Structure 1
Amino acid sequence: MKNNNVFFNRISNTAIFLIIVILFFLKLILYILIKNQFVDIGIGGGSDADYYNAYAEGLSQVAVNTWPVMLRYLNDFGLYSRVGISYILLSFSLFVIPLLVNKLAGLDFKKNQKYYLYSFLLCSIYPTIYFYIMDVYRDVFMLFSFLIGCLVVKKSLDSSSFLQFSFLFVLSVLIGWFLIGLRPYLGYAFLLSLLLWKIKFTKKRIIFLGILYFIALFTANYVGAFEFLTEYRAGFDEGNGGSTLGLDFSNPIMFIPNFILSFLGQMLGLYITNPLAIVLLLLETIPFLLTLIYVIKNINLADNFLRFLFIFFIIYGSVWLISNDNLGTAVRLRMYNYLAIYICFFYILRVKSYLRKSKGLLKDEDHTDRNGSE
């Protein structure tokens, strides 16, 4: 923990806050430039936003998920604006999502100011969260909905009253069903994690569970449980859907090696295809990888809520790593995995800081008692 303290204390709170403010204005300026077509960042996926807008305005009659239905509902009441929705998503990116991450990590600005600012900064420099607020994409709204769901789960699992626990747990299930409407496997992973949060992790046990996890994946694939996912993945090659890893999941013997390569290429973004991928590697993958290692090393400190997040990370990640083979889509899909680990990371930092202070107080009290000062 001393090494972590040295790292975090290298930059003053004032300097971190100043960086956040500078980033805020830079992102605001870039947003205005992009919206006025002075700059084109070329993130792709424009057809998604065009389709959502067309459905909202009644030009399309086929709803592929809940998001365009919500937009159509707003339009029916005269509340829909393509630019207006984008501004709302901008506020989510700049304020709401960083604040929710801090709330979920249990960070208080006064008590944990250093960690609070670092967490806010980590969310602020996350490029993908910012890129997809330029139009009526569903990604940032889904991330917001997921975090709200996590907040309800946290309050449910922390509740000491059975009645309150039951009410919030049911509300969590309803949010899970809402997430299914936005992206099916996101919602199902959320709901399944609600059933498995009692699984306890320790440093020794996580190795055993890891081996069991790969055996379960191999067995499920061998009996055809993932056939729908692997067929969907094959469609990326057939449809020429952008940059792909080109892994063949049809061979059951090669399933685990291919799954690991998919993790390296998509979750960690180690398959570099353009300069933007390098930027994402530096600003997204490296912080994620460092925080993931730290969380695994300190997994014994996980409480009910952290177990829920870690199990969600495994289940949700497993599904899309098997089914997706588009590297552009991967950066959108992994946002939930990354933020789940960020929350775990700062949550554990806060807990360890509290334990360290408690030990310090106990030592001081013991020293006082031995000297007979009281």
Structure 2
Amino acid sequence: MDKGYLRTLFIFTTFITLMFLITIGLYYVSLATGYHGLAIPILGGSDDGVFYYENALEIKNGGNAILTSVHVVVLGYVLKLFNTEYVFALKMFNFLGVILFAIISYFLIRILVGRRHILNVYSLFLGMMMLFVSFVYVSTISIIRDVWIFDFFLLCVLLFALYLKSVSPIKILYVIPIIISMILLFSYRDYAAASFLGASLFFIFFNRKNKSANAVFVVTAIIVVLGIYYTLLKNFQIPLVGLSLSDALNYRKNGQELYAGASQLNISLDQPNYLFFLISYFYSLISNALGPLPFQVRGFSTLALFVTESVPMALVFYYLWKHRKSLEYLDKMLLTQSLIWFLFIGVTNDNLGTGSRLRISGYLFILLVFTKVFYMKNWGTKINEKEVLREKKHQVNLKNEV
């Protein structure tokens, strides 16, 4: 077997094994602490896994389940298929999502960097994902739907990248699997599908392979379009999501009242005019992308989140900005996906605990770009130079033999 495939298998197996051990360990910790193997709630919130488990049981036993997403249905039929009510069976099913995550990530990175650098960038990316507590937490400790959202989001972007990269006249056929992937993503989180579609159309409109729109122009366009939507189309329902901006603001306000506590940001977006809305929205956007900010740290949980995620991601953002001229066509597409995602959750979310889960979908694409740029800047260029020298030496040897 080729050494490259063996190394890929080793990286993949190491990641899966570590995540599996964490899953098993946290399962028994959860049992020991009285949370029935589902989760250990943090940041003041309850575990959604309890809701999923209770309604999955309803489906298995023919009762009336509350169907907030297809995940409830899937878990219910898993219990019915294996004729069990064992929580561990659902955790093992959810772990398949972790395996799928590692597989899709590999193919997306291969599109970004090619075969020569895939193994190193793949190792770096999976290693960084394991350092982010929120990602490990939602992927291993409960039976919530998040890891499947990551999978289908990545799959949509992978297929879109293949479409953008293709020069074949039949590239339009990629639209079919993209739509199927979007349907899967929509069934797990509707506004994630809307975010992907919006970001993809946004990127196609503002970018070409040989020319990208000026950043100032793009930001100005976003502010103007958002202003028109806020002032004139506030009650217009966004396709796919089926919600208007007014609905989203009411949802946010109800969440502030219902879940008032230490993890609430308490950022009101229901402002009397667009300027005040824009200021509050920018604050919410930054808080959701990088929160908790230093003055938002209110306890051990938020302090841990600040140290392990807020600070590292702030450094990642700074690094990418510093090396923005190194960004390539597909890199910008990935960052556009992150931008639009944060624009979405900046409107709806006012809770640090929920935000730490939601923002992972945006972090995925940022970290993919970061690992690529960081690797190429520090090692990739040197490897390329060595490959060129080796090829030249090989050509010289061939000439001498002739």
Q: Do these two structures clear the TM 0.5 threshold for a shared fold by scoring above it? A: yes
Alignment size in residue pairs: 353
One-letter amino acid matched to 1:73: Y
Percent same amino acid at aligned positions? 20
SS of 1:137 mapped into structure 2: coil
Distance in 1 between residues matched to 2:324 and 2:64, nearest whole Å = 48
Q: Is the 8 A contact 2:255 2:350 kept in 1?
A: yes
Match of 1:85 in 2: 90
Moved more, 135-144 or 79-88: 79-88
| Aligned equivalent of 2:333, options 287, 308, 314 | 308
Distance in 2 between residues matched to 1:327 and 1:130, nearest whole Å = 17
CA RMSD of the aligned region, Å?
Answer: 3.7
| Aligned equivalent of 2:169, options 149, 154, 162 | 162
Match of 2:184 in 1: 178
1:65-95 per-residue CA deviation (whole Å, 9 max, x = no partner) reads 12112223334433675312212434644x5
| Aligned equivalent of 2:250, options 231, 236, 240 | 231
Q: Is the 8 A contact 2:49 2:142 kept in 1?
A: yes
TM-score normalised by the chain length of structure 2: 0.74
Residues 76 and 324 of structure 1, relative CA distance in 2, 3 Å threshold: same
Q: Is 2:138 the counterpart of 1:118? A: no
Distance in 2 between residues matched to 1:205 and 1:232, nearest whole Å = 35
Distance in 1 between residues matched to 2:386 and 2:276, nearest whole Å = 52
Residues 240 and 112 of structure 1, relative CA distance in 2, 3 Å threshold: closer
Query: Could you tell me how far 1:25 is from its partner in structure 2?
Result: 8.3
One-letter amino acid matched to 1:37: A
- For residues 88-103 of structure 1, what are the structure 2 equivalents within 5 Å? 88-90=93-95, 92-93=97-98, 96-98=100-102, 100-103=104-107
TM-score normalised by the chain length of structure 1: 0.79
Match of 2:284 in 1: 262
Q: Is the 8 A contact 2:79 2:90 kept in 1?
A: no
| Aligned equivalent of 1:325, options 350, 356, 363 | 350
Structure 1: unaligned runs, 5 residues or longer: 1-15, 367-372
Distance in 1 between residues matched to 2:93 and 2:340, nearest whole Å = 30
Q: Is the 8 A contact 2:288 2:342 kept in 1?
A: no
Q: Is the 8 A contact 1:266 1:330 kept in 2?
A: yes
Query: Could you tell me how far 1:63 is from its partner in structure 2?
Result: 0.8
Query: Could you tell me how far 1:26 is from its partner in structure 2?
Result: 6.9
Q: Is the 8 A contact 2:56 2:65 kept in 1?
A: no
1:277-301 per-residue CA deviation (whole Å, 9 max, x = no partner) reads 2222222223322223333444444
Query: Could you tell me how far 1:103 is from its partner in structure 2?
Result: 3.6
Query: Could you tell me how far 1:347 is from its partner in structure 2?
Result: 3.1
1:295-337 per-residue CA deviation (whole Å, 9 max, x = no partner) reads 3444444444333322221222111111111221111110111
Distance in 1 between residues matched to 2:106 and 2:310, nearest whole Å = 20
One-letter amino acid matched to 2:284: S
Match of 2:360 in 1: 335
Query: Could you tell me how far 1:123 is from its partner in structure 2?
Result: 0.8
Structure 2: unaligned runs, 5 residues or longer: 1-10, 235-244, 393-398
- For residues 21-170 of structure 1, what are the structure 2 equivalents within 5 Å? 27=22, 30-38=25-33, 41-43=40-42, 46=46, 48-58=48-58, 59-78=63-82, 81-90=86-95, 92-93=97-98, 96-98=100-102, 100-106=104-110, 111=117, 113-132=119-138, 133-163=140-170, 165-170=171-176
Moved more, 111-120 or 230-239: 111-120
Residues 185 and 291 of structure 1, relative CA distance in 2, 3 Å threshold: same
One-letter amino acid matched to 2:225: A
- For residues 340-359 of structure 1, what are the structure 2 equivalents within 5 Å? 340-349=365-374
One-letter amino acid matched to 2:54: A
Residues 287 and 109 of structure 1, relative CA distance in 2, 3 Å threshold: farther
Match of 1:214 in 2: 223
Match of 1:272 in 2: 297
Match of 1:5 in 2: none
SS of 1:105 mapped into structure 2: helix
Distance in 2 between residues matched to 1:131 and 1:338, nearest whole Å = 15
Q: Is the 8 A contact 1:98 1:119 kept in 2?
A: no
